A and B are shown apart, each in its own frame.
Chain A
Amino acid sequence: MTRLANPFPGGDPLFNHGLDLTVIGFVIVKTLIVFGLLLVSVLLYIWFMRKVIADMQNRIGPDQAGPFGILQTLADGIKLFFKEHSTPARADRPVYLLAPFVSALAAFLAFAIVPFGGIARLGTHTTFLQLADPPVGVLWLLAMSGIGVYGVMLAGWSSGSKYPLLGSVRASAQVLSYEAAMGLSIVGVLVHTGTLSTRGIVLQQTWQNWHSFVSQWLWLPAIGAFVIFLIAATAETNHPPFDFSEAEEELAGGYHIEYGGIRFAIFYLAEFMNMITMSAIAVTLFLGGPSGPKLGFLNQGGWVNVWIVPVFWFLLKLWVVLYATVWLRASLPRLRYDLLMDLGWKVLIEAAFLWAMVTGVIVVGQDQHWNLWIVTPAAAVAALLVYGFLMMCVPGKRELEDIR
């Protein structure tokens, strides 16, 4: 894989000339714009989800508010906003009020590292179309999903009743377990690209031609990691078929039963923001982010090709991934909780580990000019043998019963 030189090695060029009021203003405006766009995306996503699922079930779906019912979510939001607030008598009030905001804040902050376009020029200033490009990059995502767990846990605990507590314990156990698998699946990508920065990762996947699309976009060279990431991200966001935090038959609604009105809406918002963030991260890490072929009929160096087209490619890929999530929601029934934990701890983590090692072998092989046609299958076979050996050591269901 050819490594492309980073045109902006020092990070966002906005900060090249020090920090003055204009720069701070830029950052604030960027933050507001990204926040607004994310809110609009959530509104559209919920509408889109309801429409697509309705279509798959031969229904019409929302069609009253606005053309094609597109304002339905907005109407729901306004209704929730004006509903009466109630706090359970046994609630721990400060924590109860804090929890929804922790969820939403973590969900929004995680989106900050997603590059959703190339660069933008305004006057003398140049900036990335990305809220922040910290050197820790992807680790920021893991940190924020770690903070997001607090929202769920605290909501469940502070409500002061049993069902939300059970729901929150389930949800946080699930998120923590799958965070391990997700982190390990990202390792493969990091080994491939040699950087943590999301922009750096996207830069390694720049579109050159169809050949680069196949061999350089990480969905193919890291396909194992891609699959593991998709499964882990689905579980991480409590999305069906892994939506145990709100399994309504068992838990009456999960960690946010005791929340109503706008506070419930904030949890709902956080959940869908997480959804969109994870899909955007999948696009960034594996699908080349905002890179794609330039549109030939437009002026190649013109502002449309420089600004709009990368954003267009990013949004296109994002909505393809989001469509897939809706599809999952419509077609798969919920798993059983112990099967979910088994899948996470006994399959995904090992698979992610072994895939990271195979990736390491491939990268070293490329550096040392080994014959990859021999090295890669050999590494994969070795990994499978190790996995088989591990699985033989794990006692099966029947043996566990015998032990008991």
Chain B
Amino acid sequence: MTVVLFFIFGALTIGGALGVVLARNPVHSALFLVLTLVSVAVLFLLQDAQLVAAVQIIVYAGAIVVLFLFVIMLLGVDQTEPFAEPLRFQRPVALALGAILLAEVLLLAGHRWATGAKTARGVGITGGAFGSNIQRVARVLFTTFLWPFEITAVLLVIAVIGAVVLARRSAQTPDSESESAPRSGS
């Protein structure tokens, strides 16, 4: 059962990823990206990582790709892009980085996670001493990794404030006297 599901959603993940690259229309690419993200969420579920699966859908599918779509729809870039590359060294660098990433993933696949689980299947995570793996993640996050967690939060707040400041500044330039200044925050 698990194996069958793994193959189905693995195939969907790869198919979606290919669709992202191959689709001509940016909106279709974004939709294929959603397919990939949701399939990966299912793969997370197969690993008993329910929290990661939920966060994957809420954050990536529910927020980030929606943002992509907003940009594509509002800025009207939904035409096919020319294939001429602005940066000529882009392709070899992308290949090299991809190879490094693959090596990294293969290396990491043999290690243990912070939650104490082995990599293959979440043995010992559910129903352990700390309850479900959500409680376990929470406990680790708010005890052992509290400092990095808080630092990340501060980093995100800085990013948000920075974005607001930049948006405001461009709205205040004297040449934009029309009402088209974007409402901050919305």
Contact = CB atoms under 8 A, between A and B. Distances in A.
A10 B69 CA distance: 40
Contacts of A140: 54
B27 A95 contact: yes
Contacts of B74: 169
Nearest to A148: B62
Interface stretch (B95-103, B106-114, B151-159, B178-186): B178-186
Interface in A381-404: 403-404
Interface string B6-39: 0000000000000000000101100100100000
Nearest to B172: A403
- Secondary structure type dominating chain A contacts: helix
A341 B55 CA distance: 25
Nearest to A143: B57
B51 interface: yes
Interface residues of A, number: 36
Question: Interface range on chain B: under 10, 10 to 19, 20 to 34, or 35 or more?
Answer: 20 to 34
Contacts of B34: 150
B132 interface: yes
A127 interface: no
A336 B53 CA distance: 37
Given A92-B27, A143-B57, A147-B62, A153 B73 contact: yes
A97 to B, nearest CB: 13
Interface string A159-190: 00000010001001100110100000000000
B27 A157 contact: yes
A135 B185 contact: no
A19 B4 CA distance: 14
Contacts of B186: 173, 177, 341, 345
Interface string B48-60: 0011011101100
A150 B32 CA distance: 13
Contacts of B1: 19
A205 B12 CA distance: 41
A149 B66 contact: yes
Given A149-B62, A172-B70, A176-B66, A135 B28 contact: no
A146 B58 contact: yes
Nearest to A9: B127
Contact of A95 (B28, B50, B51): B28
A95 B31 contact: yes
Contact of A147 (B50, B55, B57, B183): B57
B24 to A, nearest CB: 12
20 contacts: A92-B27, A95-B27, A95-B28, A135-B51, A136-B53, A136-B54, A146-B62, A147-B62, A153-B66, A153-B69, A154-B27, A157-B27, A169-B70, A169-B73, A172-B66, A176-B63, A341-B185, A345-B186, A404-B172, A404-B177
